[in-house]
Chain A
Amino acid sequence: MLDPRFENLSDAELVEICNSGRRRDAIEAFDSLYRRHRDYVTRVALRYSSDRDVAADALQDTFLYLLKKFPPSGAGLILTARLRSFLYPVARNLTLTALRQTRRREQNVDLEPDQLPDPRTVDPQYENLAKAMQGLSARHREVLLLRYVDGMRLNEIAEALDVPPGTVKSRLHFAIRELRVKLKIV
């Protein structure tokens, strides 16, 4: 059972405990980080693959990667932005790697998310939006989700995607414009 004292701590505080805390505290802190960001990492994985097994593997591998950042195997993690900016590229890359390894028919898996929820299965209210998103390029779709769903700022998106902020701004601008055209928003 989770220690309630950890629930009110920030990600940075939990990371610090994982870096240098005692055994029991470090385990609890890492578990808190996992439970806090588990659904987010899963959702990121599912943006790139509709295969739930791939998503589950990516979830596990993402947190094992994070775990190795902490002593004794790692030098410790220093957060320069929100933890999600760190987790996002890890989950994304692990998902794409898993896709490359497991799919036989792919021709263009590179940076090409598998799919958002199938427009045929989504709430009819959002069917047009789902179709419009499917029609965007992978990079445009990605930056829209990071900005509007994940709530990241431009500099956080830049860090997560490892591109300059100007590139993020440009992609975001064209993505919004393209989506508005597809949705016939004046």
Chain B
Amino acid sequence: MSTESESIDLPGDIVEGLRRLDKSVAVLTPAVDRRVANAAAAHFEHRPDTVRPKKRRWAVAGTLAASLAVGVFLVRTQTDMEPAMLANDIDGSGVVDILDAFALARMSDGAASQAQIDALIGDIVALNGTSP
């Protein structure tokens, strides 16, 4: 098949004119915005909700009394650092979720191994309560 560059082309001012013509009509859609947002909320209603990793840590700590004591100590003394201390909370949001996997992949610019990313995604899936 031939390449695109072999096609004859349009002058730049004509292309600019086409773009301006296409954007010349604006439509405000607040009612549609609401209906789509409501439909999305209903559609995803039965997905598992956000699970704070803190709960998972507490669940583990609940089985280990010594870990529980350390956890209580940390919460009492460093509450303002809590979000930053969450393991794998790459974007510092206070929640470990799929956004952290994307952030890790982007931030590392290829430096993070696929295994690291897979491990993080596995952790996220586990937090979700579903098997990988």
A residues whose Cβ falls under 8 Å from a Cβ of B = 5-6, 9, 13, 16-17, 20-27, 30-31, 34, 38, 42-43, 46-47, 52, 55-56, 59-60, 63-64, 67-68, 70, 72-73, 116-117, 122-123, 125-126, 129-130, 133, 144-145, 148-149, 153-154, 165-166, 169, 172-173, 176-177, 179-180, 183, 185
Give B2's nearest chain A residue, CB to CB: A169
28 contacts between A and B (CB under 8 A): A5-B93, A6-B99, A22-B50, A22-B97, A22-B128, A23-B48, A25-B50, A25-B99, A30-B40, A38-B29, A43-B25, A47-B22, A56-B27, A56-B29, A60-B35, A67-B40, A70-B43, A72-B43, A126-B20, A148-B15, A149-B19, A154-B4, A169-B1, A173-B8, A176-B8, A179-B14, A180-B8, A185-B11
Known: A116-B22, A123-B24, A144-B10. 4 other contacts (CB 8 A): A56-B29, A133-B21, A169-B7, A176-B8
Using Cβ atoms and an 8 Å threshold, which residues of chain A touch B1?
165-166, 169
Q: Which B residues between 18 and 77 are near A, CB-CB below 8 angstroms? A: 18-25, 27, 29, 31-33, 35-37, 39-41, 43-51
Cα of A13 to Cα of B103 in the assembled complex, Å: 11
Give A151's nearest chain B residue, CB to CB: B19
Using Cβ atoms and an 8 Å threshold, which residues of chain B touch A148?
10, 15, 18-19
Q: What distance in Å separates the Cβ of A48 from its nearest Cβ neighbour in chain B? A: 12
Taking a contact as CB atoms under 8 Å apart, the answer to whether B32 and A56 are in contact is: yes
Number of B positions contacting A (CB below 8 A): 46
Q: What distance in Å separates the Cβ of A105 from its nearest Cβ neighbour in chain B? A: 22
Taking a contact as CB atoms under 8 Å apart, the answer to whether A133 and B27 are in contact is: no
Known interface pairs A22-B97, A38-B29, A173-B8; A149-B22 also in contact (CB < 8 Å): yes
Q: Is the interface of A mostly helix, strand, loop or mixed?
A: helix
Cα of A38 to Cα of B26 in the assembled complex, Å: 11
A-B contact count (CB 8 A): 139
Using Cβ atoms and an 8 Å threshold, which residues of chain B touch A16?
98
Q: Per a CB cutoff under 8 Å, which of B21, B27, B49, B128 touches A55?
A: B27
